[in-house]
Amino acid sequence: MTADLVYLVAGGSLLLAIVLPALLDRWAISAPMVLVAVGIGLGLTPLPDGLPLDPQANRAAIEHVTELAVLVALMGVGLAIDRPLSLRDRSTWRRWGTTWRLLGITMPLCIAAVALLAWGAGVAPAAALLLGAVLAPTDPVLASDVQVAGPQTGDLEVDESDELRFALTSEAGLNDGLAFPFVYAAILLATEGAVRHWALEWVGFYLVGKIVLGVLAGIVVGRLLSYVAFRSASRSLRVAERGESLLSLAALVSAYGVGELIGGYGFLAVFVCAMTFRSAERSHDYHAAMHQVTERLERLITLFVLLVLGIALSRGLLASLDWRGVTIGLALILLVRPAAGLVGLSPFRPETSRLTGPQRWAAAFFGVRGVGSIYYLAYAAGEADELGTDWLWSTVAFTIVASVLVHGALATPLMRRVDPSNA
């Protein structure tokens, strides 16, 4: 890849990041749709000749770029959510009931359904389980069209007024970390063999231990940084007074580093850190300034990734796609996720549900697949060669593009239709 092409793609990404949101606001077209199309167009020209697009040969670079995109998105999502969540206040946990259902019921059902479909189609058990794990989470990067807009600040009662957007945003923030145990299960199945050899280790460490460690790391880093930013005895350390919003980037890097260093899930640590930081001085304008920084950086990285994805699509990324990959990808988007979502969100007592009937259908449908899936696949491929086959890359890429097209086209009209204020 020449330096000239790097500048061209980066410059084009930046320009599109600036103009696309306003241009597409009234249309049933999303920025990711445009970026993928532009990338495909670039791929049909001689410009990308020499660009390292082979996912097998460039797995490490793909892993780190997509990892950064997810981290920035998780920080932004954590800062954007207005609804409080306190470990000591059980009432706040009940107000997150929709989120817990999507995480505890819908996501495992999606993982199991995709894994069974792949296994039934002849895919090896470890690869089938991995496919379910990487495609199950709702992506915090590409789901911005159906998420909350940003933190409310000022002299007002801070909470979420749009239950649908809150549900999809909080789900995307938490499920990227909670999908990791199942990615590790696929890795262990590929490297250790029979489940009986590693089942206890998986439950005790990967399913419980690493989640707890990730949450603790996020809480500690979030509380420490919020104390320094808002309440430090030294005026020079109270960065909130100066509006130094780059602290958001320092926070996400610190939380991720601490979480990974102590053996927890770094993604979960970043989201929890953002939520913990937001809980301090909840109505302070500083949160909005921090969110702006992460939002703009996320937009730039995401558009760059989508441009490269589009180029790769026209340069052979889908060469190994077959009827199995097409069937699984479309089944997940059009059948599995909506059905699992409806099961998870079915109210036992309709009068206590925070979502209307149409909103439950929308929350069930908008399980956007995206950059996080690419990261998980790249990570697993680095741990076991059989988990990085061309077929898996083609299937995941096809599913992401299908999600970009289907969810991108329907997000604007459907979200407006189910908005209670439009009733």
Encode pLDDT of 65-88 as tens digits.
Answer: 999 999 999 999 999 888 888 878
Top-confidence residue, 193 or 121 = 121
**pLDDT confidence of residue 414:** 84
**pLDDT confidence of residue 257:** 96
pLDDT tens digits along 228-238: 999 888 888 88
* pLDDT tier at 352, thresholds 50, 70, 90: very low
Top-confidence residue, 160 or 314 = 314
Q: Percent of the chain, pLDDT > 90? A: 46
* pLDDT tier at 4, thresholds 50, 70, 90: low
**pLDDT confidence of residue 154:** 64
Top-confidence residue, 295 or 153 = 295
Is residue 351's pLDDT more than 50?
no
**pTM confidence score:** 0.91
Q: Could you give the C-alpha distances from 159 to 150, 162, 163, 279, 415, in angstroms and in order?
A: 12, 9, 10, 12, 20
Residues in the chain: 423
Top-confidence residue, 108 or 24 = 108
**pLDDT confidence of residue 421:** 60
Q: Could you give the C-alpha distances from 381 to 135, 183, 199, in angstroms and in order?
A: 15, 11, 21
Q: Percent of the chain, pLDDT > 70? A: 90
Is residue 211's pLDDT more than 90?
yes
Is residue 307's pLDDT more than 80?
yes
Q: 390-417 and 357-365 helices cross at what angle (nearest 10)?
A: 160
Q: How far apart are CA 352 and CA 310, in angstroms?
A: 44
Report the sign of the C-alpha dihedral through residues 316, 320, 324, 328, in that order: negative
**pLDDT confidence of residue 327:** 96
